[in-house]
Structure 1
Amino acid sequence: MSDTLFGIHGAALELRSQRMGLLASNLANAGTPGYKAKDIDFAAALKARTSGASDTQALTAATRYRMPVMPSLDGNTVEMATEQTAFAENAVGYSATLSFIRGRVETLTRAIKGE
Structure 2
Amino acid sequence: MPVNLDTYLGVHSQALKLRSQRTEVLAANLANADTPNYQARDIDFKSALAAASSGKSSGVNLATSNARHIGPAGINGTSAPELKYRTPLAPSLDGNTVDTQLEQAAFAENSVRYQATLTFLSSKFRGLMTAITGQ
Q: Does the aligned pair in 2 maintain the 1:71–1:77 contact within 8 Å? A: yes
1:101 corresponds in structure 2 to: 121
Count of residue correspondences: 112
- Indicate the residue corresponding to 1:3 in structure 2: 6
Write the deviation string for residues 77-114 of structure 1: whole angstroms up to 9, x where unpaired. Answer: 00001100110111111011010000011111111111
- Residues 4-23 of structure 1: CA deviation (Å, up to 9, x unaligned): 23100000000000000000
Instruction: Show structure 2 runs of 5+ residues with no match.
Output: 58-77
Q: Which runs of 5+ in 1 are unaligned?
A: none
Find the counterpart in structure 1 of residue 91 from structure 2: 71
State yes or no: 1:56 paired with 2:56.
no
TM-score normalized by the length of structure 2 = 0.79
Give percent identity, aligned residues only: 54
The residue correspondences of 1:80-91 to structure 2 (distance < 5 A) are 80-91=100-111
Residues 45-77 of structure 1 show CA distances to partners (whole Å, capped at 9, x for unaligned) of: 0011111125426x02xx210111110111110
Q: Is the 8 A contact 1:2 1:10 kept in 2?
A: no
Rounded Cα–Cα distance in structure 1 between residues aligned with 2:130 and 2:6: 20
CA RMSD of aligned residues (A): 1.3
Q: Distance in 1 between matches of 2:47 and 2:84?
A: 11
Q: TM-score, normalised by structure 1?
A: 0.92
Q: Is the Cα contact below 8 Å between 1:41 and 1:64 reproduced in 2?
A: yes
Partners of 1:34 and 1:2 lie apart in 2 by 45
Moved over 4 A (4+): none
Structure of larger gyration radius: 2
More helix by share: 1
Name the amino acid aligned to 2:86.
Answer: R
- In structure 1, the residue matched to 2:34 is 31
Q: Give secondary structure in 1 for the equivalent of 2:88.
A: coil
Contact 1:35 1:75 in 2 (8 A): yes
